[in-house]
Structure 1
């Protein structure tokens, strides 16, 4: 390996190693740091189930027994079209310790984010050392560390992929290089199913196209259009099922409200350079009823006191931006894409907390951090440090003081940490000036500055671990996979849990009797209390079930009550044969109806089972008076039956949610029983007619067209580049050398 290659690898490898060390250091404060809230309640069980299905050669689209969580394509974040998600899922299925597995995945993606930041900064002509510094700092953004890395896996995945997508786009569009890296990276970004990274990508693509049009560069216009069409095609494929399903969920309501929930104001932004400053960002702390009776996510809005985490923190060196500005006109033109995305995402984090389906805009702050820190690397590369004007030093001094005053005014109780940060920044300012004026070679000065900055960063990470050792999001004592596999390990039909499932989640002993949210996928029994981002409105209201599977106490009475229209118990209409009641909600033994018995009393639960188990959800559970039929076949995606007799009441009820996307041949769709049970009307059918009820994602022709368009765009782009390269390589005969005939 030659010396030049070693030099090229030194800085990115160093950045990756430092990122790994800082990421693992979080485990000193909390060994389960990367296994909080949505990772334990949603991601791991979801990965495990997807991996289990993939091992069987299946890609799950719909699972009736999962009820409101079973419309997997509409859920989006299952990543059904993502090869990278498949790889993670197969790894989860093979793992025994979910905490260790999640930690490995999160750390790897933080390193991927670091390396992506490095190559992106280099594409904007940042020097290697400064690009490496930005690569160390971007994964330490407060929101990335305390929310995305700790809990929201797909948010971290998007943040990690975006710099790679942006780098590959610039490479393909600006430099006319191979589009293959962009095609792969952008597909992976979109297929994760997390919309915030896709919105950022849209902003990048629009900027690229507008700039190419402004500069009248035909080739770049064409490449920008191809890049946009490619991204749009896969965005339609991933997101259209959820959009077309939103009408039966809370996501279908167009609401613009500001409940000061996971969004920032201008005074909060002043804390972007303070590593332990909590600002006034509010998240889930205390449950309260939403204004005007509106139910957030099907149950209630959660809000409370400011969150004890530095969610607006970007980097401690932000005040030193004044030392490296202004940029030259040429550098400013080169950095227009950074300025556009940075401005757009900065405005977004100040937006109302709820804008239709886009909620909690602070989730854009990792992209603000990316643009700012890459811009800093570019500006620092062009700074003549030995000629640093005194005016810049004075303005930097003033900015540090002003930010400290604003932060103390915003959160007075944090005056000690804010004051300590300001004093440290002033001392560092003096150190920077000292180093800047040494008569050293520029490479030595840069190396000293960057190494010193990494040392300071290590100190800020240590301060965070001491002051804020864990994410503000909840965690619990989730055990190993073997323990969870023993819960309801002998299935007797479909099951549902009722009551406060989360009660005692911090006690390891409780996990021998019940699981939580998507961890139910690890049980041999199909349990409906799963995690969904698309709760079904009428189902939620009927069973008072929240999006993580908790129910109120009345849910048990509802399950065992008789439905007025059909005369059947609701539990029978759902195909439920097992009920697990939480003692935290039902301290006294509930009275089971006829046909049910108490199978087992545990320390924390009551386990009831039907005397004769019913078939799993998905099939026919009731027919109207005078109507008789014979079931032919039942699968997750379809039901077929033969009509033996069509009576005056031709309704046929299936134990399925009435999702958009069902197609019925041989009969017509009826009004849903209880407003959510799929109902077929066979009054017009003759004896012997076969009725087929089949589910396919709504908008299926558009999905096929979008996928076809994506393939055609990729093929066309590659073919166009091949033709262009052949034309460029073709030898030409100068006119002066032509001979007369």
Structure 2
């Protein structure tokens, strides 16, 4: 017989007053939330015990963490928000990339922190632990908002951050995905409280702005789906004022989205992000049967990835929580029936994201549906917490044991069928799940807290077990970059002066001794951590002309022909080495064994891995980015105000149209003027910026500046949105002071 009474009815009612929680209840809630944060913070260190660079992996090492340090140094120098990094070249259009969340104050604080830590792996661990904790606390609050018990909310809140995709992909590699996902449960929680008139609009607006300004489109999609689901929930319950409040909130957050994503859209014409297509090649696309392994420890789903074209993941990407499916045989399903209307929104979110996860492999800017699986698990966590909170039942014991056994054996069988070479692993995992679940069911007779202890213990045990089997994400690249900033500066900043152009390929570097290779060449944004200006930055946006001319990919790898292309004269006369103000050339001998020094360079270092060349004479105009002026123009001064502005003094020395070439990529948004007159700006050789000076311009001060496309509209939209949110909040405050209460439910 069950020791748990049926849950109370939760049909929405209209009441004149809302009963506030008691002081003791409030303190118990604070202690429970604090315990969740502490436990997740501790468990987040377990991956580092197995693999010191677990969080400094793939894109986190090549893209995010090194640039965090560079951005932090720029912010400390007074450059917030950072929108352009000239020394990162193709990856320097930060506003267009959007992925670094330059408008996000929490990101900015973390970038400053990153600038203070010498070890990049430690930086990654600290920042990602912060967001795993933030995610867990948001899930806990969201579950409590739907009426789940504290202990049940804590169980799923601790489990979700260590689900397979969130831990092995988002936390280990795709940092922007983790940062945006961590805010979504907070937005959901605050928006629902606002809809129920329990908080002011400014709270979900601020949290929604934090989710959107991370710059990851999946975070924006998450906010949109959540708001849509909430509007459907309250429409079903005929709470039209709540629907109106949610609609207004959505409009205000749309203004924030304009600020973040208009620059990205404004660069579509010159970047790789030009295709709008729908297609399916099954890459990183799970199917419905893969979901049946969400509670199998060590499950490796049959999903195509980068691992040598393998059809099986080398990470437990589809894992959710060890108890998620088996415990369904022991829950009280009356909890769902009693709260059907209140649970409409998590059901809607589940259905929407499940359809997307099982959908095509690319849809506009959204690709690789596996990325959406954590958004499926988030609403499932809410539903699971509500079910668990009603207690575990032990009546009809034989039937429940049979159902539980079928779930465990079914998932285990499917995992073994996908990977029969790992049969012992799956059998061990199944045995551990059975033992842990039996302990949880037995302890449930003593109440929720002992049950929670058993379930938390199981989460920790399975985490240790999975990290023993999968100490890193072997489905993606592990570059093995050095992590000490001091060592990087010693190896590179003192030897590679000025702008560095590198002819190197990542495959040639990692195929040899990686540790030794990375002492002579770096790729991605690693040069930014070393304090070196280099063309080898990581970019998800790219510049079509620049990359096509130099056959440069998103990681900064080039082909051997790039050396000859850089050396030959351009239509403006000087070579690209001169137009880009290159001072150091690093050539990987595996690509070009014996490079002939171009004019103005000499070989200064040569070993079995690289040839290094340096410029023999200093470049003109050392304070700016001007690289060439046509013979009929004389430049008497050139100074860079900051990354986005430059001022020149020119004098005419001959007739005809003049040209000024800059060591800047011609991103949309550049504007040049002299004495209030606008000068033509265009893309020159390799996509470099060229300013044309008409024949009738005698001379004067040329002002060059860059403003991201759509920035003015975005700032205006943000201002209007903030004012609307503040105005609605003021109205809500006034109504509350006058005793107006509407549509409360619990």
Please give the TM-score of this superposition, normalised by the length of structure 1: 0.88
Gap change, CA 1:621 and 1:213, over 3 Å in 2: same
> Which whole-Å deviations, capped at 9, do the CAs of 1:79-113 have from their partners, x for residues lacking one?
21111111111111111222222212222222222
Say yes or no: does 1:567 pair with 2:573: yes
Find the aligned partners of 2:299 and 2:622 in 1 and give their Cα distance.
51
| Alpha-carbon distance between aligned partners in 1 of 2:328 and 2:269, rounded to the nearest angstrom | 47
1:529 has 2:536 as partner:
yes
> What displacement does 1:219 show?
2.9
Q: Which is further off, 82-91 or 712-721? A: 712-721
What's 1:365 paired with?
A: 373
Picking from 122, 132, 140, the partner of 1:100 is: 122
> 1 CA distance for matches of 2:640 and 2:34?
54
User: Is residue 175 of structure 2 the alignment partner of residue 153 of structure 1?
Assistant: yes
Shift in alpha-carbon separation, 1:644–1:431, aligned structure 2, 3 A: same
Q: Is 1:544 matched up with 2:548?
A: no
CA distance in 2, matches of 1:33, 1:367: 23
**Cα RMSD after superposing both structures:** 2.8
Matched, 1:596 2:601: yes
Confirm or deny: 8 A CA contact 2:95 2:102 kept in the other structure.
yes
Structure-2 residue corresponding to 1:314: 320
1:607/1:222 CA distance change after superposition, 3 Å: same
Residues 227 and 246, structure 2, Cα contact 8 Å, conserved in 1: yes
Q: Counterparts of 1:379 and 1:646 in 2: how far apart (Å)? A: 82
Aligned partner of 2:357 in structure 1 is 349
Q: What CA distance in whole angstroms lies between the structure 2 residues aligned with 1:17 and 1:599?
A: 53
Matched residue count:
706
- Counterpart of 2:584 (choices 573, 578, 582) is 578
Q: Could you list the per-position Cα deviations for residues 120-175 of structure 1 after superposition, in whole angstroms to 9, with x for gaps in the alignment? A: 11111111111111112111110111111112222222222222222122222223
How far apart are the structure 2 equivalents of 1:18 and 1:670?
A: 56
Q: Give CA deviations for 1:540-585 in whole Å, capped at 9, x if unaligned.
A: 111111112121222112111222x223211112121211222343
Does the 8 Å contact 2:623/2:638 carry over to 1? Answer: no
Kindly tell me: are residues 694 and 435 of structure 1, through their superposed partners in 2, closer, same or farther at Cα, counting changes over 3 Å?
closer
SS in structure 2 at match of 1:168: helix
Matches within 5 A, 1:6-45: 7-45=28-66
Out of 705, 715, 739, the residue aligned to residue 728 of structure 1 is 739
Distance 1:618 1:25, change over 3 A: same
Contact 1:492 1:613 in 2 (8 A): no
Tell me the equivalent position of 1:498: 503
Secondary structure of the equivalent of 2:251? Answer: helix
More moved, 395-404 vs 624-633? 624-633
Are the structure 2 counterparts of residues 322 and 261 from structure 1 closer, same or farther at C-alpha, using a change threshold of 3 Å? same
Q: Distance in 1 between matches of 2:341 and 2:623?
A: 60
Q: 1:413 to 1:424 in 2, by over 3 A?
A: same
- Could you tell me which residue of structure 2 aligns to residue 416 of structure 1? 424
CA contact (8 A) 2:65 2:124 kept: yes
Contact 2:272 2:541 in 1 (8 A): yes
Partner of 1:654: 662
Secondary structure of the 2:384 match is: helix
Higher relative contact order (CA 8 A, sep 6+): 2
Q: For the residues of structure 2 that align with 1:131 and 1:381, how far apart are their CA atoms?
A: 8
Q: Is residue 2:486 matched to residue 1:482?
A: yes
Q: CA deviation at 1:41?
A: 1.7
The answer to which of 119-128 and 33-42 deviates more is 33-42
Alignment CA distance shift 1:19-1:388 (3 Å): farther
Tell me the equivalent position of 2:523. 516
- Mark the CA change 1:598 to 1:384 in structure 2 (over 3 Å): closer, same or farther: closer
Query: Secondary structure in 1 aligned to 2:683?
Result: coil
Q: What TM-score results when the alignment is normalised by the length of structure 2?
A: 0.88
Deviation at 1:36, TM superposition (A): 1.2
Q: Which aligned pairs between 1:120-159 and structure 2 lie closer than 5 A?
A: 120-159=142-181
Which residue does 1:713 correspond to in 2? 724
1:448 maps to: 450
DSSP 3-state at the match of 1:612: coil
Q: Does 1:53 align with 2:53?
A: no
Q: Which moved more, 1:209-218 or 1:314-323?
A: 209-218
Give 5+ residue unaligned stretches, structure 1: 287-302, 731-741
- Which of 608, 612, 618 is the aligned partner of 1:607? 612
Judge conservation of contact 1:643–1:686 (CA < 8 Å) in 2: no
**Kindly tell me: are residues 361 and 645 of structure 1, through their superposed partners in 2, closer, same or farther at Cα, counting changes over 3 Å?**
farther
Q: Distance in 2 between matches of 1:348 and 1:591?
A: 53
The 3-state SS of whatever aligns with 1:517 is coil
